[in-house]
Amino acid sequence: MAEVAEHKVDNTPAGEEWNGGAEPFKASYGKLMMWYFLLSDAFTFAGFLIAYGALRFSNPSWPEPDFVFQTAPFGIEGMPLIFVTFMSFLLIISSVTMVRGVQEGHRNNTSGTAFWMLLTIIGGLGFLGCQAWEWNNLINTEGMTALTNPFSRFEEGGQYVSAADLEKAGYVKTTKVLVEDAKPEDNIPAATYYLAPGTEDIKENRFFVKRDHHQMHAAMHGAHGDDHGGDHHGDDHGAADKAGTTFDASEPYLITYNGETKAYELGAYKSAGGEIKNESFGPKAFGGLFFFITGFHGFHVFSGLAFLTVIMINVLSGLYVERNNGHEMVEKIGLYWHFVDLVWVFVFLAFYLL
Amino acid sequence: MAEHRTYEESIKFVYYGLGLLAFITLIEVGVSLFGKGHIWEGAKGNPWVLYGAGFLIIVLSVYKAYFIIYEFMHLGGEAKGMAMSILLPVLLLVWGVIAFMQEGGSWGARRELIDEKNALPAQDINNDTGMLDNTKTISLEKAMEG
């Protein structure tokens, strides 16, 4: 490191500081510009996260993160924030291996630098893989998309009602395939739901008997394997039936998304006032903000991995030994990689912890 | 700061950093779950616990950010002017956060106001004049009191 520091000594004679060539910041152009790029990127991310905060403050009900993010691979349910904590650890570890890479770079140890950079790349790939699983689970299993948010909170207490209750109240049992322009070869089964007498058959007016989302999926995949062809929906998921369950105001809920009928099942409940209502979708902004901000961060991770790979190959070729500046390129990509970790600290804070 | 460390010391320091960041992250998750009432049922729904936990988590996250910037990104070892040219603009964001959270809160209050207004009966049109009949209009202030 000592020989690197010598480059930065300011030898400008007194009185000639304005003649050019002075380096008041004692840093190379490339490193300085990487810092200012990261500063501008910090403002971009801050803009997105502030938008998240402002929209969250403006909505009367917002999904509860520890309820939304409680699923992990291998069928783990009801473990709030555990999976995302693991993802955070992956990024922290890859940040630490990056520091080791920069240290070895200063000593011109090419194989050591490349080794630690390879570990950093593996950590980053692991993080992206986890994010892919998380997105896939949210979109395909739980039915959250950029425009539809099935997660919300009750504004009042109540009790889920059964099919018999709905029929007694005069609700009309309806069976229909709810996917528009479904082809016969798609084999999409019909959904069964109830309509209040005289109401239009639109999404918001369909009352379903509440079923536990996760239990329903476990039953589907456990009992039927990959056989999605049959018309075996309906009564065979009795274990997931939640009719009769009571809940309090501000309790979080997830509108059941039926992967077979491709329909959101808005659970019918009786409010404290005795009125029959159904669950409503949560604030629309939640899905869009989540996918956009974590996606933008994931894109930073992805491009960081591309740069890391190129620079690791250059390290192995001995290019930076020739430049004799203490592997400054490794230091610059290191700055970028730490920044990705830094942004995750705040994404983790805004989306998962608070 | 890192400039004064020998090679062996700086390797040791890196693993100290790993332990520190992992430990703070675990504490954060613990505090977050406690604030939401997952660890002790009694904490659920208590606004003081929720806001206290939120404040603590934010402080810990800012400390993590400081550690990453000063130690892993070596900003502490750069020229002071350079460090300030990067850190001072970030102060603008402090104002951004305060202003937009305020804005969000006021937007939320407005949504509630609109909901309350929508719940009111519509103003009647006077059939003779075709104008709004103000005598039949319920004043908003009165409706909100009731």
Tell me the pLDDT tens digit for each residue of A121-132: 999 999 999 999
Q: For residue B39, tell me if it sits in a domain.
A: yes
| Higher pLDDT among residues B76 and A128, named by residue | A128
The residue type found at A214 is: H
Interchain CB distance below 8 Å, A95 and B68: yes
Structure confidence by residue, pLDDT tens digits, B125-137: 666 766 666 665 5
Number of domains in chain A: 2
Residue numbers in B near A72 (CB within 8 A): none
Return the pLDDT at A228: 42
Task: Please tell me the distance from the alpha carbon of residue A278 to that of residue A110, in angstroms, as a whole number.
Answer: 63
B95 located within any domain:
yes
On whether both A166 and A129 belong to a single domain, the answer is no
Are A209 and A273 contained in the same domain?
yes
Residues spanned by the domain of A212: 151-278
CA separation, residue A65 to residues A343, A349, B40, B125, B141 (Å): 18, 11, 18, 48, 36
Domain range enclosing B48? 2-120
**B59 lies in a domain?**
yes
- What pLDDT does residue A11 have? 65
Mean of pLDDT values over A177-189:
79
Question: Is A19 a domain residue?
Answer: no
Considering the domain architecture, whether residues A199 and A51 belong to the same structural domain is answered as no
Whether B11 maps to a domain, the answer reads yes
Helices (H), chain B: 7-35, 47-67, 80-119, 140-145
Question: Tell me: the pLDDT tens digits for A72-104?
Answer: 888 788 888 999 999 999 999 999 999 999 999
Sign of CA dihedral A96, A98, A100, A106: negative
Does residue A247 sit in the same domain as residue A294?
A: no
Q: Chain B contacts of A51, Cβ < 8 Å?
A: 100
Whether A144 contacts A135, CB under 8 Å? no
Is residue B84 a part of any domain in this protein? Answer: yes
Kindly state whether residue A17 falls inside one of the protein's structural domains. no
Shortest CA distance from B64: residue in chain A: A345
Whether residues B25 and A250 touch (CB distance < 8 A) is answered with no
The per-residue pLDDT for B144 is: 61
How many structural domains compose chain B? 1
Do the domain assignments include residue A182?
yes
Counting residues of chain A whose pLDDT is more than 90, the rounded percentage is: 44
Out of A215-224, B47-56, B114-123, pick the least confident: A215-224
What distance in Å separates the CA atoms of residue A120 and residue A106, rounded to the nearest whole number?
Answer: 17
Report the alpha-carbon distance of residue A265 to residue A260 in Å, rounded: 12
The predicted structure's pLDDT at residue A227:
43
Q: Could you tell me if residue A46 is inside a domain?
A: yes
For residue A221, name the pLDDT band (cuts at 50, 70, 90): low
- Is residue B99 within 8 Å of residue B110, measured between CB atoms? no
Q: Note whether residue B131 is domain-resident.
A: no
Which of the two residues, A306 and A211, has the higher pLDDT score? A306
**Which residue of B12, B64, B72, B98 is the best one to mutate when testing the A interface, meaning the one whose CB has the most A CBs within 10 A?**
B72
With contacts defined as CB-CB under 8 Å, which chain A residues touch B97? 46, 50, 53
Decide which of A253, A278, A303 is a domain's last residue.
A278
Interface with B, mutate which of A339, A349, A351, A352 (most B CBs under 10 A):
A349
Q: Are A145 and A139 in contact (CB under 8 A)?
A: yes
pLDDT tens-digit map of A109-150: 999 999 999 999 999 999 999 999 999 999 988 889 999 899
A297-301, B4-8, B35-39, B115-119, range with the lowest pLDDT: B115-119
A241 and A333 housed in the same domain: no
pLDDT mean across residues, chain A: 85
Mutate to test the interface with A, among B29, B39, B70 (most CBs of A within 10 A): B29
Rounded-to-integer distance, Cα A96 and Cα A299, Å: 21
Residue A208 token pair: 């379903």
Ranges of H-type helices in chain A: 2-7, 29-58, 65-68, 82-106, 110-136, 163-168, 213-224, 285-317, 319-323, 328-347
Average pLDDT over residues A242-270: 85
Q: Report pLDDT for A9.
A: 55
A278 pairs with which residues across the strands?
A268
B57, B28 Cβ separation under 8 angstroms: yes
Which positions in chain A touch B58 (Cβ < 8 Å)? Answer: 349, 354
Chain A, chain B: beta-carbon pairs less than 8 Å apart: 136
Q: Is there a domain that residue A134 lies in?
A: yes
Q: Is residue A18 part of a domain?
A: no
Q: Which of A247, A278, A309 is the last residue of a domain?
A: A278
A227 and A260 assigned to the same domain: yes
In terms of domains, do A254 and A234 share one? yes
Name which of B73, B98, B100 to mutate to probe chain A: the one with the most chain A Cβ atoms within 10 A of its Cβ.
Answer: B73
Which chain A residues are closer than 8 Å to B36 by Cβ?
A: 64, 66, 80
Residue B136 domain flag: no
Instruction: Quick: pLDDT tens for A13-60.
Output: 777 767 777 778 888 899 999 999 999 999 999 999 999 999 999 988
Domain co-membership, A117 together with A158: no
Residue A95, chain B, CB below 8 Å: the answer is yes
Mean pLDDT for chain B overall? 84
CA B91 to chain A, closest CA, distance in angstroms equals 11
Which of B64, B79, B100 is closest, CB to CB, to A50? B100
Residue A21 lies in a domain: no
pLDDT of B119 above 90: no
With beta carbons under 8 A apart, name residues in chain A contacting B65: 342, 345-346
Q: Least CB-CB distance to B32: which of A46, A47, A81? A: A81
Residues B37-44: contacts with CB within 8 Å, 24+ apart?
Answer: B38/A66, B38/A80
Establish if B78 belongs to a structural domain: yes
Domain assignment present for A22? no
Structure confidence at residue B92 (pLDDT): 93
Residues A270 and A335 in one domain: no
The residue from A250, A278, A306 where one domain ends is A278
CA distance A308 to chain B (A): 16
Q: Which CATH number characterizes residue A121's domain?
A: 1.20.120.80
